């Protein structure tokens, strides 16, 4: 019997940070452009090389991204850093192309289709066959203008409307994306229903179906607190790309449509996954101290406590700390971040929690 520590985990993974798009799309309060630019800049400084920067959704439906072009104009451009935007319509791709022609575009265009018919209708108001025809047009335009296409199969592990989804449905969409020219293929656990055993079985079938290991993107939502466990289960298959979000935020876009996602809707938490992978000897290329500071700033920008466990506890104290029987652990020189409960009164909290 093979033990977990004997499994062939990758030596290095690329973390796709989704806070600025998938994270913010479910936030009801508009985050100012300058704060989006600040956060993305700090992501680059922390070592992220794959960043989901914005959405080209129509501002009428997703006002959070009414500033998409302005954000792209202002974020830093560095060799080796790739920016991604999501497009769900041909008009959105045309906006992405125009931005690129004007010198401030994205490297990747992400497009979506659901593994379940019911969710596809709820999400993009089209049948999957209608959606495929549109996606083929969108993909041709994106590829012809020098973009990498990132194709998503949403609800790959289960649908909030119709329930269980046969793996063959998602795998079929993986073949669709490969055939139309997508460089990256993501299988999304859109509403956080997957479990590690299911994940293992699913990716066994994905690879058996001939889909390329080096083009798969792992993406789990943490609705039930299983995102980190599911991600690690997937990584035992040697995948290189993982999507996460600071503070585990994200989920169903705030378009005014009826809700299909309950509970904690966000992605796997970046601040929890990245340090754990580093502890396991899997390199992410991300500076953990900068990541912790970024997590604190994310809470300040959003205006509420988010969901990172590591942000509160700090790095594992491998070399110990001084203990005092009266005072407890000596915090001087401690590797943990400053307590979120002891922020300076001057720390900016721009957006009060709208649910308070």
Q: Residue 132 in contact with residue 175, Cβ under 8 Å?
A: no
Q: What percent of the chain has pLDDT over 70?
A: 89
Instruction: Decide: residue 251, CB within 10 A, 0-12 exposed, 13-18 middle, 19+ buried.
Output: buried
When mean pLDDT is compared over 88-97, 243-252, 257-266, the highest value belongs to 88-97
Per the structure, the complete domain to which residue 254 belongs is given by: 8-302
- Cα–Cα dist 170/173, whole Å: 5
Question: For residue 254, is it within any domain?
Answer: yes
354 Cβ contact partners less than 8 Å away, ≥ 6 residues apart: 28, 29
The pLDDT value recorded for residue 353 is 31
Which residues on neighbouring strands pair with residue 58, listed in sequence order? none
Question: For residue 66, is it within any domain?
Answer: yes
> What SS3 state is found at 58?
coil
Looking at the predicted structure, is the pLDDT value of residue 183 above 80? yes
> What SS3 state is found at 86?
strand
What is the chain's mean pLDDT, rounded?
90
Question: For residue 318, is it within any domain?
Answer: no
Q: Residue 147 in contact with residue 106, Cβ under 8 Å?
A: yes
Question: For residue 56, is it within any domain?
Answer: yes
Looking at the predicted structure, is the pLDDT value of residue 166 above 80? yes
The pLDDT value recorded for residue 188 is 96
Q: What is the largest CA-CA distance in the chain?
A: 69
User: Which position has the higher pLDDT, 217 or 348?
Assistant: 217
Question: For residue 190, is it within any domain?
Answer: yes
The pLDDT value recorded for residue 264 is 76
Structural tokens at position 76: 């830093």
Place of tokens 């309950």: 262
Whether the predicted model's global pTM rises above the 0.95 cut = no
Alpha-helix residue ranges (DSSP H) falling in the chain: 33-46, 68-74, 90-101, 117-124, 128-144, 167-180, 196-208, 227-235, 270-279, 288-302, 309-313
Which helix (H) or strand (E) segment holds residue 9: the answer is none
Looking at the predicted structure, is the pLDDT value of residue 348 above 70? no
Looking at the predicted structure, is the pLDDT value of residue 71 above 60? yes
- Cα–Cα dist 261/14, whole Å: 27
> What SS3 state is found at 113?
strand
Split at pLDDT 50, 70, 90, the class of 260 is low
CATH number at residue 171: 3.20.20.70
Looking at the predicted structure, is the pLDDT value of residue 30 above 80? yes
Question: For residue 344, is it within any domain?
Answer: no
- Cα–Cα dist 196/66, whole Å: 37
Question: For residue 176, is it within any domain?
Answer: yes
Structural tokens at position 111: 């497009």
Structural domains of the chain, count: 1
Looking at the predicted structure, is the pLDDT value of residue 21 above 70? yes
Q: Residue 108 in contact with residue 149, Cβ under 8 Å?
A: yes
**pLDDT per position as a tens digit, 212-255:** 999 999 999 999 999 999 999 999 999 999 999 999 999 877 55
Q: Residue 159 in contact with residue 165, Cβ under 8 Å?
A: yes
Place of tokens 């609800």: 155
What would the mean pLDDT of 271-280 be, rounded to a whole number? Answer: 98
Question: For residue 261, is it within any domain?
Answer: yes
Which residues on neighbouring strands pair with residue 218, listed in sequence order? 187, 242
The pLDDT value recorded for residue 349 is 30
User: Which position has the higher pLDDT, 138 or 320?
Assistant: 138
- Cα–Cα dist 41/207, whole Å: 36
Torsion of CA 138, 143, 147, 150, to 10 degrees: 60
Angle at 246 between CA 93 and CA 54, to 5 degrees: 15
């Amino acid at each position: 019997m093979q033990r977990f520590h004997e499994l062939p985990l990758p030596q290095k993974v690329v973390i796709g940070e989704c806070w600025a798009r998938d994270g913010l799309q479910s936030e009801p309060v508009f985050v100012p452009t300058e704060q989006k630019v600040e956060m993305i800049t700090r992501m680059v400084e922390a070592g992220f090389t794959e960043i989901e920067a914005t959405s080209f959704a129509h501002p009428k439906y997703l006002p959070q991204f009414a500033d998409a072009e302005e954000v792209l104009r202002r974020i830093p451009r560095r060799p080796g850093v790739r920016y991604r935007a999501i497009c769900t319509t041909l008009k959105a791709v045309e906006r992405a192309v125009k931005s690129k022609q004007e010198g401030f575009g994205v490297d990747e265009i992400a497009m979506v289709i659901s593994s379940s018919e019911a969710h596809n209708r709820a999400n993009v108001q089209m049948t999957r066959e209608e959606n495929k025809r549109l996606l083929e047009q969108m993909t041709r335009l994106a590829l012809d203008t020098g973009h990498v296409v990132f194709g998503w199969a949403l609800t790959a592990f289960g649908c909030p409307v119709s329930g269980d989804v046969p793996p063959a449905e998602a795998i079929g969409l993986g073949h669709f994306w490969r055939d139309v020219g997508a460089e990256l293929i993501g299988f999304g656990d859109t509403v956080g229903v997957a479990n590690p055993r299911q994940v293992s079985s699913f990716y066994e079938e994905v690879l058996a179906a001939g889909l390329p290991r080096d083009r798969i993107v792992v993406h789990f939502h943490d609705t039930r607190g299983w995102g980190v466990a599911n991600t690690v289960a997937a990584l035992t298959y040697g995948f290189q790309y993982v999507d996460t979000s600071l503070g585990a935020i994200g989920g169903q876009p705030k378009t005014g449509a009826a809700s299909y996602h309950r509970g904690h809707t966000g992605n796997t938490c970046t601040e929890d996954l990245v340090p754990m992978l580093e502890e396991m000897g899997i390199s992410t290329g991300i500076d953990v101290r900068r990541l912790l500071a970024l997590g604190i700033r994310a809470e300040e920008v959003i205006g509420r406590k988010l969901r990172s466990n590591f942000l509160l506890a700090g790095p594992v104290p491998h070399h110990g700390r001084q203990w005092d029987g009266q005072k407890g652990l000596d915090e001087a020189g401690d590797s943990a971040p400053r307590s979120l409960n002891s922020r300076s009164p001057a720390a900016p909290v721009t957006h009060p929690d709208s649910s308070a």
